[in-house]
Structure 1
Amino acid sequence: MRIRWTTCAGIVITALLTLFLIVPVLLSVYAGLTVNYARGISAGFTLDWVRQVWGLYSDTVLRSLVVALLTLILTLLIGVPGAYALVRRGGRFARIVEEIVTLPVAIPGLALALAMILLYGGFGAFRQSTLFVVIGHVLFTLPFMMRSVIAILETIDWRTLDEGAASLGSPAWRRFVDVILPNVRPGIVAGALTVVTLSIGEFNLTWMMHTPMTKTLPVGLADAYASMRLEIASAYTLVFLVMVIPLLVGVQAVADLSEKRTKS
């Protein structure tokens, strides 16, 4: 069977774009493992830069994980019931609320962070806490969780399922837990993957909101590139990838498992 030229062109373009994205990352990793990047391979390889990065910035790794986890928990607690309430309410009011919730995505992260600083800057303890960064991440990622759940609810006949459970005497909270949540599981998992990814990699919002005691991985990475030698900054990139990639693969595996269970 002959392969069409359009298929070959698509494969070639995809491969070139993949290389365009991956090669800079691989080059950065290579720089973080060399003794001296200017001298190249002849200088040899070392893990000393990675050890220095871990000694200097290990706290940002833990903080980024904590921020991402807290952001995910809050978006689940707010976004899933909120999405269900909007779909159940329907009408113009629900659409207006949905647009308001989506506004933080359209606003530049720096502007959103500045607005939060102006509003909560007087609360010293809160302003200097990790929770302040978490709230900013929740505002930024909440629309993605809600849109994922709303998209699933709009594809299933949730009203019939809800009315069927109600006719059997199930209270509202029980119908939500036992009927709605299992049916929107794919949307929840997809939203969780998006929230975790965005939270860990978010820089603009976090850079404006952070303090020296609430620095996260992306902010630390920017500081390393601005103030450290190239090898240390590149080693920081390697540490970032080692932490993020397994986490994203794990979340994606949970998403695939959830999808298989839903289909079965």
Structure 2
Amino acid sequence: MRIAPSRRFGRGAVTTTLLLVVAFLIVPVFLTFVGSFAGEWSGVFPSDFVTLRNWREVLGLAETIGSQRSMGWEPLLSIGGYTLAVPSELLFSVGLALGGVFINLIVGIPIAYAVARYDFWGSEWVNAISVLPLVPGVILGVAFLRAYPTLSGTSFGLIVGYSLLKAPFMVMAVLSEFESMPLQRLEESARSLGASWFRTFLTIIVPNARSGIVSGAIICWTLAAAEFNFSYIVWAKGTQPLALFLQRHISNSSFTKAAAAVSMFFCIIVAITVLLQQVGSHGFDTRS
């Protein structure tokens, strides 16, 4: 019996392609992380290992000058003569991105639910507008300066801008989850047992869409934390968003120091992603 070539080589070809793609994506990240512990990187590979100087300078634990200054550390509290300080730019950026994610959750979930559940006039337009980015960050930033001058340069203005820019990703992630659920049957079953619409939505619909909500939150957080164009235009003074911190180190530092700054961003992304996944897996339940 002759075996078709697709059956004989198909699985191996798919596996090989997958491994090559993963390696192509991971190798630059790995080299960047390794290079952050190098003293010099002038050739193809870094050299002069192992040093923590780059990380110390990026984290503000070593002296830097001029445009290469590192994230500021602000005193949080003092206990027994010891002062606990925190990296202000890091916490500021994490808070901004999470604030944008919070708005996306409050607004994006109901929009996705309405589009998936109901057939109303203009639903196609709502669907198209909600899942397509309206404007790039640079255009939204310029519009913010003119339309909302009181928000420009403020933390709340950055949060609102991040939420507007990343809302389509939340809507798309949650919409796909809602469309795979028998929404009408779930609602009718819960209502027949005496549950109100609001309770049905919070205790039945939302928990069953948990995976899509968590995926959307992770995507929105990651993209908002690295949003440069909008941050560059709207930010005025004070503590800088993380995207501007990265730009400063990439454009005005040695490659090894830039590698440390980027590696720090990778670590933050991984930490927040794991946190959001844990919240989604164990702590995200609106049922009493």
Do Structure 1 and Structure 2 share a fold, with TM-score over 0.5? Answer: yes
When residues 37 and 158 of structure 1 are mapped into structure 2, their CA distance, relative to the original with a 3 A threshold, is same
Task: Report what 1:127 is aligned to.
Answer: 152
* TM-superposition CA deviations, 1:42-64 (whole Å, max 9, x none): 63321121111111123322122
SS at 1:45's partner residue? coil
Letter of the 1:118 counterpart: R
Q: Are 1:188 and 2:213 an aligned pair?
A: yes
Query: Residue 193 of structure 1: CA displacement?
Result: 2.1
Q: Which of 1, 8, 15 is the equivalent residue of 1:4? A: 8
When residues 28 and 88 of structure 1 are mapped into structure 2, their CA distance, relative to the original with a 3 A threshold, is closer
Matches within 5 A, 1:1-264: 4-38=8-42, 43-55=48-60, 56-57=70-71, 58-103=87-132, 105=133, 107-120=135-148, 122-123=149-150, 126-254=151-279
Q: Distance in 2 between matches of 1:139 and 1:130?
A: 14
Q: Distance in 2 between matches of 1:109 and 1:154?
A: 29
When residues 227 and 212 of structure 1 are mapped into structure 2, their CA distance, relative to the original with a 3 A threshold, is farther
Higher-strand-fraction structure: 2
Q: Distance in 2 between matches of 1:168 and 1:147?
A: 31
The unaligned stretches of length 5 or more in structure 1 are none
Number of equivalenced pairs? 256
When residues 133 and 208 of structure 1 are mapped into structure 2, their CA distance, relative to the original with a 3 A threshold, is same
CA contact 2:210–2:280 (8 Å) conserved in 1: no
SS at 2:59's partner residue? helix
Q: Distance in 2 between matches of 1:145 and 1:209?
A: 23
Higher-helix-fraction structure: 1
Query: Residue 132 of structure 1: CA displacement?
Result: 1.2
Q: Distance in 2 between matches of 1:131 and 1:82?
A: 22
Pick which of 37-46 and 47-56 moved more. Answer: 37-46
Pick which of 78-87 and 48-57 moved more. Answer: 78-87
TM-score, length of structure 1 as denominator length: 0.83
Pick which of 205-214 and 91-100 moved more. Answer: 205-214
Pick which of 63-72 and 193-202 moved more. Answer: 193-202
Query: Residue 254 of structure 1: CA displacement?
Result: 5.0
When residues 114 and 102 of structure 1 are mapped into structure 2, their CA distance, relative to the original with a 3 A threshold, is farther
RMSD of Structure 2 on Structure 1 (CA):
2.9
When residues 162 and 13 of structure 1 are mapped into structure 2, their CA distance, relative to the original with a 3 A threshold, is closer
Q: Distance in 2 between matches of 1:153 and 1:20?
A: 34
CA contact 2:136–2:165 (8 Å) conserved in 1: no
Q: Distance in 2 between matches of 1:154 and 1:186?
A: 13
The unaligned stretches of length 5 or more in structure 2 are 61-69, 72-86
Q: Distance in 2 between matches of 1:16 and 1:161?
A: 43
Instruction: Work out the percentage of aligned pairs sharing the same amino acid.
Output: 29
When residues 151 and 29 of structure 1 are mapped into structure 2, their CA distance, relative to the original with a 3 A threshold, is closer
Letter of the 2:257 counterpart: I
When residues 38 and 150 of structure 1 are mapped into structure 2, their CA distance, relative to the original with a 3 A threshold, is closer
CA contact 2:39–2:47 (8 Å) conserved in 1: no
Letter of the 1:24 counterpart: P
CA contact 1:128–1:214 (8 Å) conserved in 2: no
Query: Residue 135 of structure 1: CA displacement?
Result: 0.8
Name which structure has the greater RCO, CA cutoff 8 Å, separation 6+: 1
TM-score, length of structure 2 as denominator length: 0.77
When residues 149 and 241 of structure 1 are mapped into structure 2, their CA distance, relative to the original with a 3 A threshold, is closer
